[in-house]
Chain A
């Protein structure tokens, strides 16, 4: 079988977020959405494996970079994905290297987010612990020279202010995933979370953070419910922001 006809590897080898291109910070272009991993927990939850799990699960959804699916379509919303609207606009910078050098982890997160923002791209943190949302915000404020609000579940940016969207697994009700010790029974459903994020697609959003996933937790984590929920949810924000969805007519009415 010629290599170009070989099946696309699904869950093996190098898996960038959404099967997007792996790039260095110097290659970033304005308008791109730049994923990066923060593989650190906080002692309470082992969220350090979060970036790995999120990238692995996102491979299922990276149809626009894969030959396994001819035309991705959200059957629930009857919307098809315009792959051209995504291509080269969603890239992966890899994980922050915390092993070399002496700078504190929070400073490194802030510095990277500032650099991404200065290059006109939008940072998307694959956490990791939620404690890195604060330094992410500091980095963005320093680069953009304007205040940035952290937008937790269902919040929208106040008029004239920028928002950093914080999607913590604990904000989604534990009945749906059981993958976070912080999860409550009064959290959002996935559909509520998706509706919120779709609405943010055209707002003044300057960053997004996925946090709180402990993929090694026993129970529902066995079937990776947490990372699927987070990836499914964040795609609504990504696709809305990149204007990548087109309606599909229903022939039977």
Chain B
């Protein structure tokens, strides 16, 4: 495939410029990206199936800029005032897209779960990119299966950044499997417990029965208003404390739609939360160093924002979510200064 595209001067670029590969090439500590281009489980405004393609382009452009800056004068983070360097030991591979079958949701579930399970089994961090938020469930399912095998009995903490709870049991013609039920499906997995599940950014009108069930079982919900009142750093601290109580691994699911639609309209289920990209950056940055065992990033819908702004913002947010795996404070870079290794592309193991 590489040869074919090279002939047209259009190299295949994975997320963050990673080269394409298979799970067999992954090692412990690596990142394995999985595309989930499906929005058949979204009940209203679709378009998130184009998310992985847009984010491959967006994150690659972002990575090129970072590499250029790093090679020039270094990476300066204006928020923290700190300088960063690209980790030389970071290895990211893009495993491509899962096989989506719009007419067979259970086959799609298994296809996605098989990929994230393979990444997690290799000891790498699966980062699955959707697609609508239902795809977060099979992504999580794969991680759950891998950890159930490697560490039977161990529980996994769960944090969901989202404008919605997604804790319904069924939704009309979509039944049990749709973008409003994914969190409940995760809660039903054997190594997840509501007492270690946290929601951040929930906005507006929700089903109070779901709230009562979650909170009654010890789950924790931070509304958008809570996020404004407490600030991102405090919300992140409390969320991590709660999710990781009795657990040493965290699954992080990031739905971009807690962002106010005024900033990020390119998503299927908009909210008016007054949550800004800065809120997300600060929150995700604070969580980036957590003991992540899996990440999914969903609901970027490029057709709903022809300006392209939504996918650009989303690319930056995805970087922040895994920043600790890619960047280190300047002076603490692991190994030699970053460089593009021949034949590898950025961050690919030759």
Residues of A in contact with B (beta carbons under 8 Å apart) = 7-8, 10-11, 61, 63, 68-78, 80-81, 175-178, 189-191, 219-220, 222-225, 228-229, 232, 248, 250-252
Chain B contact residues, CB within 8 Å of chain A: 43-45, 171-173, 202-212, 215-216, 220-221, 223-225, 260-262, 265-267, 270, 272, 274, 304-307
A176 and B265: CB pair below 8 A? Answer: no
Chain A residues with CB under 8 A of B266: 223
**8 pairs across A/B with beta carbons < 8 Å?**
A75-B203, A75-B204, A76-B203, A176-B274, A177-B261, A220-B262, A223-B45, A223-B261
State the total of A-B contacts with C-beta under 8 angstroms.
99
Partner of B207, one of A7, A69, A78: A69
Q: Which residue of A lies closest to B220 (CB)?
A: A252
Whole-angstrom CA separation of A177 from B204 in the bound complex: 17
Q: Give the contacting residue for A176; candidates B211, B221, B262, B304; CB below 8 A.
A: B262
Contact status B202-A75, CB under 8 Å? yes
Whether the Cβ atoms of B265 and A220 lie closer than 8 Å is yes
Q: Are A71 and B221 in contact (CB under 8 A)?
A: no
Q: Are A70 and B44 in contact (CB under 8 A)?
A: no
Q: Is the CB of B216 within 8 A of A232?
A: no
Residues of A within 8 A of B202 (CB): 75
Complex Cα distance, B45 from A221, in Å, reads 13
Judge whether B205 and A225 touch: CB under 8 Å.
no
- B270 near A228: Cβ-Cβ < 8 Å: yes
Across the interface, B304 reaches (CB within 8 A) one of A8, A72, A177, A223, namely A223
Instruction: Decide yes or no: A75 and B270 within 8 Å by CB, A80-B208, A248-B208 being known contacts.
Output: no
B224: min CB distance to chain A, Å: 6
Q: Which 10 A-B pairs have the closest CB atoms?
A: A73-B208, A7-B172, A71-B208, A76-B225, A70-B209, A176-B262, A75-B223, A223-B265, A225-B261, A80-B208
Q: Is the CB of A74 within 8 A of B204?
A: yes
Quote the shortest CB–CB distance from B43 to chain A (angstroms): 7
Complex CA distance for A81 and B205, rounded to whole angstroms: 9
Separation of A75 and B211 alpha carbons in the complex (Å): 8
Complex contacts, B262 vs chain A, CB 8 Å? 175-178, 220, 225
- Given A7-B173, A190-B274, A222-B305, A76 and B265 touching (CB < 8 A)? no
User: In the complex the two chains form, what is the Cα distance from A190 to B172 in whole Å?
Assistant: 31
Complex Cα gap A175–B204 (Å)? 19
Distance of A73 from chain B, by nearest CB (Å): 3
Q: For B272, what are the chain A residues with a Cβ–Cβ distance below 8 Å?
A: 176, 190, 225, 228-229, 232
Q: Identify the closest chain A residue to B207 (Cβ).
A: A69
A223 to B299, CA, bound (A): 13
On chain B, the residues within 8 Å of A229 by CB distance are 272
Which residue of A is nearest B216, CB measured?
Answer: A251
Neighbouring B residues of A69 by C-beta, 8 Å: 207
Instruction: State in angstroms the CA–CA spacing of A239 and B43 once bound together.
Output: 28
Out of B173, B205, B215, B216, which one reaches A74, CB within 8 Å?
A: B205
Output the least CB separation between B194 and chain A (Å).
Answer: 12
Residues of B within 8 A of A178 (CB): 262
Given A75-B204, A228-B261, 11 extra CB contacts under 8 A:
A63-B205, A71-B208, A71-B209, A72-B205, A72-B207, A75-B224, A78-B223, A176-B272, A223-B305, A225-B262, A251-B216
